[in-house]
Every structure is written in structure tokens, then in C-alpha cells.
Amino acid sequence: MADLEAALRLGLFYMKQPRSTTSRPCKSITLVGSTSSYFGGTGVTAYVASKHGVLGLLRASQSTARDLGVRVNGIAPFLTPTHITAGFSQRWKEQGLEENTPERVAEAIALVALDEARQGDCVLDTQVAGKYFRELESSRMSLLPTWIGADFAEFMGRAMQFFISIGGYVLPKAY
């Protein structure tokens, strides 16, 4: 636990440093969601809801992160053996289903964090034997007009510009 606290303190120290004089963000945060962030369906409501929250944080943080010179991206790993998968991992293997490894997830985090071209991406990481490494957020945005209709996508674009112009969704003051 002390190592985790030290790592967090060090990370916060570096994030507080003044913004780089270059135009590109040089600080990076990589959030760890799950394929459950996108697909759900595992039957564990609290887990799926929490991973949807990670995806929401990824999407909602982009504007502020850009202003601060920070790139915020995410990864969405698929099944990785941990204590929460212990109850079914043997049956998973017996079905011939492949799984990630913690080392593979760490490698995916490093790849996303070090790729300076990434801003607002979320990479599906099912790197079982190097099979799947797919960016999901840019793909989703490019398919938005097909998914919800060009007219509604255009309306939502204008609505988002409105909120940006007023500094965000203004909440009422707490009493």
C-alpha cells in the first residue's frame, strides 16, 4: 500500500508542474476500464456500472485535460485472471476461451500512455496472443451519424458547442 501511495504522490507532483511550452500535451493519464464499459452483460451490475463510470470520466475529462496539457486515454481489457475471476476461470479455460495476462494489460497501458498521438482514445485490449488491440472512441464518433442519424448527430454537435461556449453545464448552487 505504501508503494501505491508513493506512486500516486509522485504522479500528482508531476501533473501539477506548469504546462509545457510546446503545443502538444506531454502529460498522460491512462484510465483502466473494461470491455464491460462498452458491452456489459457479465451479470455483475456494480462492476459494469463502475466501468461505465470510467468511460464517462474518459469522455467528460477531454476538454479540461486539453486545457491543462494532459492527454487522457483509456484501455478496456477483457478477461484478465485476478481474484475476481477466480470463481469461473477454470471453466473459462475448459471452454477453450483465451484470457489476457496482467503483463499484457500493463503493456497496453504503456503503449497507450506513450503514444503522443492519442487523445481521448479508449483501446479495447484483448491481446490474447496479440489478437485484438482496437481503438473504440474515434470509431464510435465516426459512426455516430449512422448510429443515431445525421440530423440528430448534427444537433448534438451544436448542443455540445453551446455547452462549451458557456463553460460547461452550469449546475444550480447547493443550499
Q: How far is CA 3 from CA 6, 10, 28, 101, 134, in A?
A: 5, 11, 20, 22, 31
Average pLDDT value for the chain: 85
Assign 175 to helix, strand or coil: coil
**Any idea which of 4-13, 71-80, 133-142 has the lowest mean pLDDT?**
4-13
CATH level 2 (architecture), domain 21-135? 3-Layer(aba) Sandwich (3.40)
- Asked if residue 66 has pLDDT above 70, the reply is yes
**pTM of the predicted model as reported, rounded to 2 decimal places:** 0.79
Percent over 90 (pLDDT), the chain: 29
Q: Which set of grid coordinates corresponds to residue 131?
A: 489478437
State pLDDT tens for residues 78-130: 888 889 888 898 898 899 888 888 888 898 899 899 988 888 888 887 655 45
Q: Which set of grid coordinates corresponds to residue 7?
A: 506512486
Percent over 70 (pLDDT), the chain: 90
CA atoms within 13 A on the CB side of 96: 0
- What pLDDT sits at residue 159? 93
- What pLDDT sits at residue 129? 47
Domain ranges of the chain: 21-135, 138-168
